[in-house]
Amino acid sequence: MSGRVLSVASECVPLVKTGGLADVVGALPGALAATGWEMRVLMPRYRSLLAQSAGWPVVWDEADLWGGPGRVLAGEVAGVRMLLLDAPHLFDRDGGPYSGPLGDHPDNAVRFAALSWVAARIAREGLDGWKPDVLHAHDWQAGLAPAYLAYGGSGGVKSVLTVHNIAFQGWAPAHMLGILRLPGHAFHPDALEYYGGISSLKAGLVTADRITTVSPTYAAELMRPEFGMGLQGVIAARASVVSGILNGVDTGVWSPEAEDPPFGPKAMAGKAAARAALCAEFGLEVPGPLAIVVSRLTDQKGIDLLPAVIPDFVLGGGGLVVLGSGDPTLEGACRTLAARFPGRVATRIGYDEAMSHRLFAGADAVLVPSRFEPCGLTQMYGLRYGALPVVALVGGLADTVIGASPATLAAGVATGVTFHPVDTLGFGQALTQLLALHAQPKLWTRLRSNAMGHPVGWETSAAAYASLYEGLCA
Ligand code: ADP
């Protein structure tokens, strides 16, 4: 079966990215093409996209979009058919997608309601003869799109909402119900009312025909209070339409064979050279495993655990390079570690895609001690690049890494080190295990070869989405 999907999101690689959401939205259209499903992506035309989309034709007009007119421009980027919502009064601003120099934009609820409104209208009415079968909304920013279809008429279009991170819920005060063009009857605990206000994410969760999240384990976790962040009951009530589909990795972008020097499962000399280059770049000399962290520096990612566990790891021969930015306290803690262990630990604060490639190419291990992790991408880069993932057993980390244990080593299937609970004891024990595994070269080589052979591409996930759409439209 084949069909058409309108994907709607606030970020899409390569145009705008603040996290894994953008990677997924950008990769899915190409991955789906082989399954017969055609996907177009609708996202805002932020200031950073004005020049790039300057000559694009206008394919949709919206007279009244919360304080000004809107238009949709159509173009193609990296093989993906893009629809950009041009509404300068909402999106032509300094800063990133959600915030400017003064912090979060105060009208974010309206900005992304506008995106969702236009998505629902295009899905319902079609665009120049292109009528989607499915509207696929991502996260709270697009959460109102299924709601607008449900409350305003769907035109036969089915809807899917994917939760990439339940922590962001798109809350607005109750008095905005009418402003957001939502019906009074929807202001109800069984609908979109949430803690006395409106949650766009909850609106999507209660109205979408299907709910997905980005790993099977996170799908199950979301129904528990420890992970559901207040929405566990809402998701549990819709359990029959909830599923988890793992993200893939863009293996065109993340390919050890394409790095400089290139390497691969059968030609690991390049990896040794990359490790040496990495040590030289950061002034490190590391006799044991060289670990990396490439991450937002937040409590979610367990970065606060590093100061307690890294000293013993370093004493045991290990080294660490941290690349990330985020919480100033955690940035400071990572800087302090580097100052305390010169030649063994280095910290770079910032976002640097090219550097992240060098890190994965040269590293022996990547540390992902997240408290929750809907899917996670860096452990998959680690698998592909032979940087053994050391991960907390949560969410997508639990679904993608097979921890070394007597059983998995005997079966020859281990691909990394896993730990739970997510605390300094668990993480410290995992690093001790990493040191011990690294000290056994034959075993280490086997683990690394298992890791590099683990499929992390989009094929399986794309097939799962295609079958979800097929089930919906059958
Ligand atoms: P999240 O979306 O929660 O931040 P993911 O692991 O799903 O976590 O995706 C994070 C993405 O951002 C990965 O592609 C990762 O490599 C990238 N990334 C995070 N921090 C940095 C950084 N400082 N420099 C380069 N890339 C980064």
Q: What's the whole-number average pLDDT of the chain?
A: 97
Pick the atom of ligand 1 nearest to 17's CA: 12
pLDDT value, residue 74 = 98
pLDDT value, residue 250 = 86
Mean pLDDT in residue range 452-468 = 96
Share of the chain above pLDDT 70, in %: 100
Mean pLDDT in residue range 346-363 = 97
C-alpha 120 to ligand 1 mean position (Å): 30
Q: Tell me: do 105 and 239 sit in the same domain.
A: yes
- Full DSSP string of 348-384: EES--HHHHHHHHHH-SEEEE--S--SS-SHHHHHHH
For residues 458 and 437, give the distance between their C-alpha atoms in angstroms, rounded to a whole number.
30
74-86 pLDDT, tens digit per residue, is: 999 999 999 999 9
pLDDT value, residue 80 = 96
| Nearest CA owner, ligand 1 atom 12 | 19
Q: Tell me: do 287 and 376 sit in the same domain.
A: yes
Which residue of 139, 370, 377 sits with most ligand 1 atoms within 8 Å of its CB, as the best mutation to test the pocket? 377
Q: Tell me: do 227 and 337 sit in the same domain.
A: no
Q: Tell me: do 243 and 349 sit in the same domain.
A: no
Residue 336 has pLDDT above 90, yes or no: yes
Q: Tell me: do 204 and 311 sit in the same domain.
A: no
For residues 403 and 398, give the distance between their C-alpha atoms in angstroms, rounded to a whole number.
9
C-alpha 99 to ligand 1 mean position (Å): 18
Q: Tell me: do 167 and 34 sit in the same domain.
A: yes
Q: Tell me: do 303 and 180 sit in the same domain.
A: no
| Nearest CA owner, ligand 1 atom 24 | 351
Name the residue range of residue 332's domain: 256-453
Confidence class for position 212, pLDDT limits 50, 70, 90: very high
Higher pLDDT, 316 or 19: 316
155-198 pLDDT, tens digit per residue, is: 999 999 999 989 999 999 999 999 999 999 999 999 999 999 99
Q: Tell me: do 12 and 128 sit in the same domain.
A: yes
C-alpha 64 to ligand 1 mean position (Å): 36
CA 428 to chain CA centroid, nearest Å: 26
Give ligand 1 pocket residues (Cβ under 6 A).
19-20, 23, 294-296, 323-325, 351-353, 356, 375-378
Structure-token pair, residue 204: 């999507």
Pick the atom of ligand 1 nearest to 375's CA: 7
246-292 pLDDT, tens digit per residue, is: 999 989 889 999 999 999 999 999 999 999 999 999 999 999 999 99
Residue 1 has pLDDT above 90, yes or no: no
Q: How many domains does the chain have?
A: 2
pLDDT value, residue 411 = 97
Q: Tell me: do 210 and 264 sit in the same domain.
A: no
Omega within 30 of 0 (cis) for the link into 132? no
C-alpha 44 to ligand 1 mean position (Å): 21
Q: Tell me: do 332 and 447 sit in the same domain.
A: yes
Q: Tell me: do 212 and 184 sit in the same domain.
A: yes
The CATH number for 375's domain is 3.40.50.2000
pLDDT value, residue 20 = 85
Pick the atom of ligand 1 nearest to 325's CA: 23
Question: Which residues, listed in sequence order, are joined to residue 182 by a DSSP beta bridge?
Answer: none
Distant-in-sequence, close-in-space partners of 449: CB < 8 Å, separation ≥ 6:
265, 386
C-alpha 17 to ligand 1 mean position (Å): 9
Q: Tell me: do 279 and 355 sit in the same domain.
A: yes
